[in-house]
Homo-oligomer: A and B are copies of this chain.
Amino acid sequence: MKRKILFIDPVPGPIEPNFKSYLELGKASETELVIASIESGPEHLEYRFYETLVLRDILSLSVKAEKDGFDGVVIGCFYDPGLYEAREITKDLVVVAPGEASMHIASTLGNSFSIIVGRDKWVPRVLENLHRYGLKEKLASIKALGLGVNDFHKDPERTMKLLMKAAEEAKTKDRAEVLILGCTMQYGFYNELQENLKIPVIDVSLAALKYAEFFIDLRKQFSWKTSKACAYESPPMEEMLKWGIYPP
């Protein structure tokens, strides 16, 4: 089945070539993948304020993507910024994000999971999403490494050491059966961790990309798509046009 997906990197570009080829290896062969970053804004989204700065771009890219014939978008940040908003403002587009995708996948692969984030600051934000998705019961623990978003790839060996330590604690002390690497910028580490720890370690960008493909297929085959009752009911087009707020 053909699929066309836009991966939105919600910070200013250009996309790192490494990350790009990483995603491309992850996609299905029938999937056409386009990666877009936003024009300007903060270089990471560790703060809620930073998220507000990119929401408009995420939404306008999503609406434009639907108009341009994309089947789905992936919002490339573990905070899932704009996920519910983009589902509301679009019509049939599949909208997916790393937090939701990885938590559902992890809940199916094991009885409980731990999330490894960068800093303590992120924890309440991630817990809020966990509540949103209704999966709080599955959480074993959240571990923080003491690293910012843009630190993970500065000294990959040190990052790997910190990851390994946190992961082992999560597995041994917190009885986590699955691990989630809670930032898209933790890309590239899952495989080595997984081989060492012998439990699944989820890379959240890859998880989101595959989740998008999965929901695109469900929509194409069975018309199972974002419900438009209550939570994701779209605003009336007439109203938006009258107020000059559409397209976003």
Q: A13-21, A68-76, A117-125, A157-165: which one contacts chain B?
A: A117-125
Give the CA-CA distance A218 to B210 in the complex, in Å.
Answer: 8
Q: A203: which of B56, B125, B222 is its contact (CB, 8 Å)?
A: B222
Query: In the complex, which residue of chain B has the Cβ closest to the Cβ of A201?
Result: B224
Residues of B within 8 A of A56 (CB): 52-53
0/1 interface trace, chain A 91-110, chain B, CB 8 Å (1 if under): 00000000010001101111
- The CB with the most chain B CB atoms within 10 A, among A26, A85, A227, is that of A227
- Do residues A49 and B222 form an inter-chain contact, with CB atoms below 8 A? no
- The CB with the most chain B CB atoms within 10 A, among A55, A108, A243, is that of A108
Is A39 an interface position by the 8 A CB rule? no
Interface residues of A in 172-225 (CB under 8 A from B): 175-178, 190-191, 194, 198-200, 202-203, 206, 210-211, 214-215, 217-218, 221-225
Residues of B within 8 A of A211 (CB): 108
- State how many angstroms separate the Cβ of A225 from the closest Cβ of chain B: 7
Q: List 30 A-B contacts (CB under 8 A).
A: A1-B29, A26-B222, A28-B217, A42-B240, A47-B89, A49-B59, A49-B88, A49-B89, A52-B56, A52-B248, A53-B56, A100-B108, A107-B133, A108-B215, A109-B224, A110-B229, A110-B230, A110-B232, A112-B124, A112-B230, A120-B175, A120-B229, A121-B231, A134-B136, A134-B138, A171-B229, A175-B230, A177-B232, A178-B227, A190-B222
Residues of B within 8 A of A171 (CB): 229
Q: Indicate how many identical chains form the complex.
A: 6
Residues of B within 8 A of A222 (CB): 26, 190-191, 203, 206
Interface residues of A in 27-76 (CB under 8 A from B): 28-29, 40-43, 46-53, 55-56, 59
Residues of B within 8 A of A225 (CB): 109, 200
Residues of B within 8 A of A177 (CB): 124, 227, 229-232
Residues of B within 8 A of A49 (CB): 59, 85, 88-89, 235, 248
Give the CA-CA distance A234 to B88 in the complex, in Å.
Answer: 29
Which of A's residues lie within 8 Å of B, judged by CB?
1, 26, 28-29, 40-43, 46-53, 55-56, 59, 82, 84-85, 88-89, 100, 104-105, 107-112, 120-121, 123-125, 128, 131-138, 171, 175-178, 190-191, 194, 198-200, 202-203, 206, 210-211, 214-215, 217-218, 221-235, 239-240, 243-245, 248
